[in-house]
Structure 1
Amino acid sequence: MNVETFYDTTTATFTYLIIDEATSKCAIIDPVLDYDPFSGKSSTVNADKVIEFIKSNNLHNEWILETHVHADHITAAHYLKTKVGGKIGIGSGIKTVLSTWLPVFEMCDDVPSDGSQFDVLFEEGDTFKIGDLNVTVWHTPGHTPACASYLVANSIFVGDTIFAPHLGTARCDFPGGSAEDLYNTIQRFFTLRDDTKMYLGHDYPKAGALPLSCISVAQAKSENVQISPSITMQEYIAKREKRDATLAVPKLLLPAIQCNLRNGQFLVSAQTGKPFIKIPVNAI
């Protein structure tokens, strides 16, 4: 297995390309669609880098995998499917997220609440293949109810659950988030072998430093500033909730959530066919 990493500096997001070298099959995890909230313009610069790599290496894409419904970037899943194919998969907890957010954006009439806009809704323990590589789905809630991680060989792609050791863990103050659930999720990660690679969803490096995309379970257990195998749930919850109370709302939350509920598609005007987003006022 080979893992190619793409980093978007604007949203500090990692996109991964998992490649089964024996079959030249691949899967994309957490792709980014570029979006400027000030001008309302979208572009495909980041996604096109992934497409170029796939085509130049004669790969066949089988999956576009989401670790959750992102609040900090718009997914390029739909765009990539039109260009390189692959089934779009997400954890079945998406149905809980849909039930929360569709009424906020008044999208109940134009977005399926059952998650059928995605090709596959993964249940806990589901398995599938990328070429000859075996993948197991873990439901890993806490940051959101829809969070899922993908275990492939000696690697797990954890999305927004745990971060680089100096940053700690994901926030838990979004609707449906739970510090207790995230504590249990990360303690489950700690049951993996110490040499298991954890591929992270984000990193926010200091100026001049390179982003850190991958750590070992051993590093996470011994170095994380917020959680360890020995910290109690009560200690972690208190620390996490204190931190969450100081955090600002992600600047792309409203555009990102409503587009990502549609697997990265904008609302289209019935009158003009133009793409739109909705910005509800004082709704959250």
Structure 2
Amino acid sequence: MIADPVSPSGAVAADPARDAAARQVAAWSGRPDAPVVRSFFDRATFTATHVVHDPATRQAAVVDSVLDYDPASGRTGHLSALAVLDYLRAEGLQVAWHLETHVHADHLSAAPWLQHQTGGALAIGAEIVRVQQVFGKIFNEGTEFARDGSQFDRLFTDGETFRLGAIDAIALHVPGHTPADMAFVIGDAAFIGDTLFMPDYGTARADFPGGDARMLYRSTRRLLSLPDATRLFLCHDYGAPGRPDFAWETTVGAERAGNIHVHDGVAEDSFVAMRTTRDAALDLPRLIMPSVQVNMRGGHLPPPESNGTRYIKIPLDTL
């Protein structure tokens, strides 16, 4: 459960999972054996894929990988994923995890393809089942589409701990953008998906089915109550006026001081009003139809039909 904020400064009620993550970050921050992160930016979808590894054991996790997809032709490709694979092999890394922070609506996941190449377990938050229920109905998937998360090897619950080699890790449920968003805190590095963006860009939208702006605010405050030195790795950057380069790494301290939507002092009701108004003016992501259909299946393409061809559905006048 997400604890309710008790003040606009970001203080929250008792939150054992968050507190455990904070202690973990403090223990790993500044250590020479802290996790190493290499990021790959896919300009076509503005997505940052992160490879995090334990320098002692060389165990790695791949977070939010990208499958190339051309909506005009329906063709898929692996150039983005190949860059990740080449790095893994060059560094001699052993992949233990393929982590998905949520069911993405703006890019297709390459996790199954990378998993076939490298091994490792595919994992997502346990609330994926809610997303599968909602979008299973929207896309009129039949009873053959399992809505129990069984397409993934591991479903993390809030506060569940795991390991990346010798490095402590914990999963934090941070819903709002979708009901299933999960942040993975590995050592002193947090991979937070679509919750916060760079300080000069703000926060993620909350208007998809199952999204909730008030819940998003509480999730951002939960993340921003981690130690200021916590390294935050974001899933996207769309650029910002006056900033020439794309960026996907920041800190809790920088977000608390300067995030244009949720810096310290922004009240919940004010955020909800802003986010709701802003979301109402946004277009749907260009790749939402193929992305959700594929990603709710754990990155697997829809099954082939009787002619051997796979199809993406586009529900008319629905979303």
TM-score by length of 2: 0.87
Matched with 1:129 is: 163
Q: CA separation in 2, counterparts of 1:206 and 1:183?
A: 21
3-state DSSP of counterpart to 1:97: helix
Say whether residues 1:229 and 2:259 are aligned partners: no
Q: CA separation in 1, counterparts of 2:263 and 2:89?
A: 42
1:124 counterpart letter in structure 2: D
2:218 counterpart letter in structure 1: N
3-state DSSP of counterpart to 2:138: coil
CA contact (8 A) 2:200 2:240 kept: no
* Deviation at residue 204 of structure 1 after TM alignment: 1.3
Say whether residues 1:155 and 2:189 are aligned partners: yes
3-state DSSP of counterpart to 2:83: helix
* Deviation at residue 270 of structure 1 after TM alignment: 3.6
CA contact (8 A) 2:201 2:239 kept: no
3-state DSSP of counterpart to 2:132: helix
Matched with 1:196 is: 230
CA contact (8 A) 2:127 2:179 kept: yes
* Deviation at residue 167 of structure 1 after TM alignment: 0.9
1:98 counterpart letter in structure 2: Q
* Deviation at residue 111 of structure 1 after TM alignment: 1.8
Matched with 1:258 is: 293
Q: CA separation in 2, counterparts of 1:58 and 1:172?
A: 39
Matched with 1:27 is: 61
Q: CA separation in 2, counterparts of 1:81 and 1:24?
A: 17
3-state DSSP of counterpart to 2:123: strand
Say whether residues 1:8 and 2:42 are aligned partners: yes
* Deviation at residue 12 of structure 1 after TM alignment: 0.3
* Deviation at residue 109 of structure 1 after TM alignment: 2.0
* Deviation at residue 63 of structure 1 after TM alignment: 0.4
Matched with 1:60 is: 94
Say whether residues 1:140 and 2:170 are aligned partners: no
Q: CA separation in 1, counterparts of 2:289 and 2:308?
A: 21
2:104 counterpart letter in structure 1: H
* Deviation at residue 156 of structure 1 after TM alignment: 0.8
3-state DSSP of counterpart to 1:49: helix
Q: CA separation in 2, counterparts of 1:119 and 1:108?
A: 22
Matched with 2:273 is: 238
Matched with 1:276 is: 311
Matched with 1:173 is: 207
> Which is bigger in relative contact order (C-alpha 8 A, separation at least 6)?
2
3-state DSSP of counterpart to 2:39: strand
1:60 counterpart letter in structure 2: Q
1:10-33 Cα deviation digits (max 9, x unpaired): 000000001111011100000000
3-state DSSP of counterpart to 2:226: coil
Q: 1:250 to 1:229 in 2, by over 3 A?
A: same
CA contact (8 A) 2:54 2:167 kept: yes
3-state DSSP of counterpart to 2:84: helix
**Seq. identity, %:** 38
1:198-246 Cα deviation digits (max 9, x unpaired): 1111111269822111111111011111112321110110011111111
Matched with 2:251 is: 216
Q: CA separation in 2, counterparts of 1:277 and 1:172?
A: 24
1:184 counterpart letter in structure 2: R
Q: CA separation in 2, counterparts of 1:176 and 1:66?
A: 18
What are the ranges of 5 or more consecutive residues in structure 1 without an aligned counterpart? none
3-state DSSP of counterpart to 1:63: strand
Say whether residues 1:45 and 2:79 are aligned partners: yes
3-state DSSP of counterpart to 1:108: coil
* Deviation at residue 171 of structure 1 after TM alignment: 0.3
1:108-164 Cα deviation digits (max 9, x unpaired): 323210111111110000111111111100000010001000111211111000001
Matched with 1:120 is: 154
Structure (1 or 2) with the greater strand fraction: 1
Find 1:247's aligned residue among 277, 282, 286: 282
1:22-58 Cα deviation digits (max 9, x unpaired): 0111000000000011111110100111111111221
* Deviation at residue 103 of structure 1 after TM alignment: 1.3
Find 1:104's aligned residue among 135, 138, 142: 138
1:175-199 Cα deviation digits (max 9, x unpaired): 1111111111111112111111111
3-state DSSP of counterpart to 2:140: coil
